[in-house]
Structure 1
């Protein structure tokens, strides 16, 4: 039996472990943290465990297919429940918009908030976003090695789709042409941040993210981390071994063709290595000079956005929050300027996940919140001082107050994870949460694929193709596992 070592138990590593173990390979997963999930983290609070990472789960069929293709059922390992309200959006002038699971309800809500012309523009935008997704899903996301030369003939079959891509414009420019209502343009421009980009620099084809979200948003019973634990349990049932608190400090290939991984001052021998971390860590030599040859620096540069994240329990007063909420900056023209300069925002847009409001619940006491503020990546810098943390906390709370929200007890700076903390937690990331930046029309083709330049070394996760996000990392694992199994068969 051939042996594959997976470095990292993020979603990509977990999904790959499932597929490789099902494929008859001996799998050992080495994770430096104490629990699975990577960025899909949870923390204790006064109201119970609270999500402190991804909160929005889309593309449920990707996860159903993962479990089905290894002979299991998703429902046996995690419970996914679909939300009626995709997200609730608030502007300072009192305007509110709910985008819904029901497309007709979303259309009527847009009409009610912004008028008939805006509703017509929203309808056309939704149609075009679906067209983009349908055109790019197979040749891009579902393909292990996307190539523009293979996509062009397919796109030319539908010239209208090429026009929909708006290849010469950024997402912000394209939305400015589509919507006469600037608040709708502001809403959908923010979708660039879902993959770590700025709307002024990201390609217009990222409009397809709206279609992905419109297909459905689910929450995981017990919190998002339960999906990670379910995937771990499934992989174990298939024969994978997990070793936590395991620090891999280097690996190299010996004369026998076997790889030797140095982990906790011991060595592990294997036939192939699958790296579920930021490819930038390899390029910088964090796992030794031999490993650095696996990927080129330009495959992970420039870096995507990061975030400051507050996770806490409190009683809330003010706005009628849903489970997923967006509180917009007052001036969309100035919203992303500081981030483009590598500086923090003064008047940001905030995302709020009210975890106890899933299923349209309305808790009466303390409830759990995760609040996200976009930030530029930080580079290799030290952990911030207490004074800097308190200044950041003030930015959060001031903006929430401007929208009419107050929390009791008031969350402290101890509830805050800053960009610099993520840089420490995920080596080589520079605090970036989404890997390589999506800026530029060709950015999707610049990401590294599963197979690296060095035999027996592979990549998986949000830093590799097809990119950031829980479903994309899961698809990355599908590509990686298929590549490894094929290569091991040919060896």
Structure 2
């Protein structure tokens, strides 16, 4: 085993969490990141000198992060200012609108006013089922190391056996939603949660209805934007001794006798490594992006298994004609046609559109006047390793997006400084993915079990990030970092004759208080 530090490749959420927890456990930790700032997909885009969230915009499950900060002798409040959102999102179908709220009774009332008492009752039953699925899988699956169907049943135990037999894995989400909602608009709304992990509601299992419970259980707004979370996690890691190197792209993971020995940067510099946590998409390992020796670490992922990518506009926009709130969704008239086009590798002709108005609160109140910071997302196929879109294709896609929101009365002027990130751009940022933003798609009953776990086929090499177990999304990426640390420390202890016990949180080092900037 090398005498070097534990090297974290990539400063995404999974890597940042791994670095902080390992450093808190007394390990020598070095993070190497190809970019200029922490965050990975949790990034800010500079638009005319203004930082706009260009990645995830919804913050849920804060208990996971509070536990991470606590393990490092800090609290989230030392680094971040959070505020719970009362309104989760505004949804539009042409001129029809429906808001969902943090208060389930308010959501139920809104659904009743929107679609009738029968649909409100269906929502109540659906909400209970989504909660049941989440509660059944939270500890044994989401917060546990990667498992298989048989071991999952063992983890759930006798009390959980009825839930194990009814995980809804063999029914598609879309079909299951039909049992709760007769109104196709509501089926469309709750089917959209499949896209939170880059999947189609027509192909993913109904188990993923649990995602709606995560959001219904609370959404928080982070003062200054979601990208501040990455800065806070970096500051947390530094406070317990982790070191960071930016503009340091890894060219190769050196393997000797089946075990990690070092990394080599693109400059040719060699850094010895006691162990490595790779916070890149596992597809990059299997494709040889980190050298031939490391290819055996993970299976190669077929492009057919990729999750969705996206066309993402970040802009200082002028928005009129529609009462935007922080999170607004504009649905297409034909959801089946939209996902059929994506499955065929094409952009939808009439896409659904998500818009995050980052200068607005959840009630729609605005900060400042004039133009406002927006991020706009349209789902796209993960074909970013193919030919880039032509200027004419980009213009057409932009016009289709504008047409979709205009049906609800929203008029958008994106301005001359708007930035469009395409699947090809995401492929450049996250190589060997085709621009897929969520790892492999969660299609079919076995997809979640096929996801890459913390351990790889190479000793001392671990994976973390939203493309690994337990799944996509900021909280899941954080859990993946925790699980990678758990596996790494357990493996080190089993290989050490001294068997010194080291666990995250075993430090009294006080966190550095910091003002986070974009």
Q: 2:450 aligns to what?
A: 446
Report if aligned partners of 2:286, 2:301 keep a CA contact under 8 Å in 1: no
> Which is worse superposed, 354-363 or 9-18?
354-363
Q: 1:112 aligns to what?
A: 113
Q: 1:191 aligns to what?
A: 193
Change (3 A) 1:257 1:95: closer
Distance, in Å, in 1 between the alignment partners of 2:458 and 2:450 is 18
Q: How far is 1:155 from its partner? A: 7.2
Residue of structure 2 aligned with 1:353, choices 352, 356, 363? 356
Alpha-carbon deviations, 1:102-160, whole Å to 9, x = none? 11111111111111000000000001100000001111101013232133353774676
Correspondence 1:326 to 2:302? no
Report if aligned partners of 1:389, 1:413 keep a CA contact under 8 Å in 2: no
Alpha-carbon deviations, 1:290-348, whole Å to 9, x = none? 11111112599611111000000122101111100110101233231111212110111
Residue of structure 2 aligned with 1:291, choices 284, 294, 309? 294
Q: 1:132 aligns to what?
A: 133
Q: TM-score, normalised by structure 2?
A: 0.90
Report if aligned partners of 1:300, 1:435 keep a CA contact under 8 Å in 2: no
Alpha-carbon deviations, 1:239-266, whole Å to 9, x = none? 1110000011002124696612111221
1:82-481 matches, within 5 Å, as 82-92=84-94, 94-152=95-153, 154=156, 157=159, 161=163, 165-254=167-256, 259-263=261-265, 264-298=267-301, 302-360=305-363, 361-363=365-367, 364-408=369-413, 410-412=414-416, 414-481=418-485
> Which is worse superposed, 325-334 or 223-232?
325-334
1:9-24 matches, within 5 Å, as 9-24=11-26
Distance, in Å, in 2 between the alignment partners of 1:152 and 1:137 is 13
Q: How far is 1:358 from its partner? A: 2.2
> Which is worse superposed, 145-154 or 134-143?
145-154
Residue of structure 2 aligned with 1:485, choices 483, 489, 504? 489
Query: Which is richer in helix?
Result: 1
Distance, in Å, in 1 between the alignment partners of 2:86 and 2:260 is 51
> Which is worse superposed, 185-194 or 159-168?
159-168
Distance, in Å, in 2 between the alignment partners of 1:2 and 1:218 is 39
Q: How far is 1:485 from its partner? A: 1.3
Q: How far is 1:399 from its partner? A: 1.8
- Coordinate RMSD, CA, aligned: 2.0
Q: TM-score, normalised by structure 1?
A: 0.95
For structure 1, list consecutive stretches of 5 or more residues without a partner in the other structure: none
